[in-house]
Amino acid sequence: MKPLYRAKPQDGVWWITGASSGIGRGVALEAVKRGFKVVATARRLEALQDLAREAEGLSGVIIPMVCDISDAAAIMQLVADIEAAHGPVTLAFLNAGTYRPVNAYPFDAAAFREMFAVNVGGTINCLDAVMPLMCAREWGQIALNASVAGYIGLPRSAAYSGTKAALIAMAESLKFDTDKCGVTMQVVNPGFVETPLTAKNDHPMPFLMPLDEAAKLICDGFETGGFEITFPWQLSRILKTLRLLPYAFYFWLVGRATSG
Ligand SMILES: NC(=O)c1ccc[n+]([C@@H]2O[C@H](COP(=O)([O-])OP(=O)(O)OC[C@H]3O[C@@H](n4cnc5c(N)ncnc54)[C@H](OP(=O)(O)O)[C@@H]3O)[C@@H](O)[C@H]2O)c1
């Protein structure tokens, strides 16, 4: 088996999707502090330009580029443009995603379709663009941003938990192949992090973590290269324990805990 690759600043550029706000933005800034050149993508150019300005004076640099991850052809072209202009993508942090609570009734099929199209379909588009290049080079690093919500079906989270469970399973499964060609496959499973996405929540968020702390933990995890990067450890451990319970006990316990 080939040794698994860890991105180094001299080898090329990072690509971070969903870098216009929240976790993607925080990780981009942390990476620049660590000396990396980062291509930051999302749909909102102005927010990406703000990020680039905020990074001025740090040891790396932010290159803003606009792209919607649900547009497969545009993503393919984007990655070709990145590599032509800035060199190989050394690390792809496929982070862009969206969240809306859903219920069984009324059943909001549009919300399901939107979350699966962006969180899963968009990530597949990005993998399609970057995976062949890394596998041909026999080095590279890919991290999918899933969630602890993907460990098990949580109340009002049928669509979101479903998309994140899919990403976790995809990363686990792809790792068997990427290990053989020297490409490091990782999955990031955050609990609650302070971002615009969680600011919309009207329910308690146990162990809510500040963004800069989460960004440091993610970048540390990229450096060490272990398969799963998950935090805060308390919430991650509680949810991993819940998924070991018999279903009858799980539904009773979580139903009671969240009934308010
Ligand atoms: N915050 C948490 O507690 C938490 C916990 C676990 C996992 N996560 C995951 O972390 C990721 C980032 O979440 P966040 O909390 O940082 O949310 P956020 O602040 O809302 O950021 C979401 C990012 O995704 C981008 N995005 C959304 N749809 C896109 C599309 N079609 N094409 C390209 N970019 C798109 C947005 O940029 P534009 O609108 O500019 O396109 C934005 O930059 C998500 O995958 C989320 O599921 C978050």
**All domains of the chain, ordered by start, with CATH?**
9-257 (3.40.50.720)
- Distance (Å, whole) CA 219 – CA 6: 11
Residue-wise pLDDT for 42-81, tens only, equals 999 999 999 999 999 999 999 999 999 999 999 999 999 9
**Cβ of 62 below 6 Å from ligand 1:** no
Query: pLDDT at position 168, please?
Result: 98
DSSP 29-77: HHHHHTT-EEEEEES-HHHHHHHHHHTTTSSSEEEEEE--TT-HHHHHH
**Cβ of 49 below 6 Å from ligand 1:** no
The pTM for the full model equals: 0.98
The residue count of the chain comes to 260
Query: pLDDT at position 260, please?
Result: 65
Query: pLDDT at position 3, please?
Result: 83
Query: pLDDT at position 44, please?
Result: 98
Query: pLDDT at position 2, please?
Result: 76
| Residue of minimum CA distance from atom 7 in ligand 1 | 147
Please answer whether residues 83 and 32 qualify as being in contact, where contact means their C-beta atoms are separated by less than 8 angstroms.
no
Residue-wise pLDDT for 123-145, tens only, equals 999 999 999 999 999 999 999 99
**Cβ of 22 below 6 Å from ligand 1:** yes
**Cβ of 18 below 6 Å from ligand 1:** yes
Query: pLDDT at position 174, please?
Result: 98
* Known active-site residue 99: no
Residue 92: helix, strand or coil by DSSP?
A: strand
Regions in the chain scoring below 50 on pLDDT: none
Atom of ligand 1 nearest to the CA of 26: 16
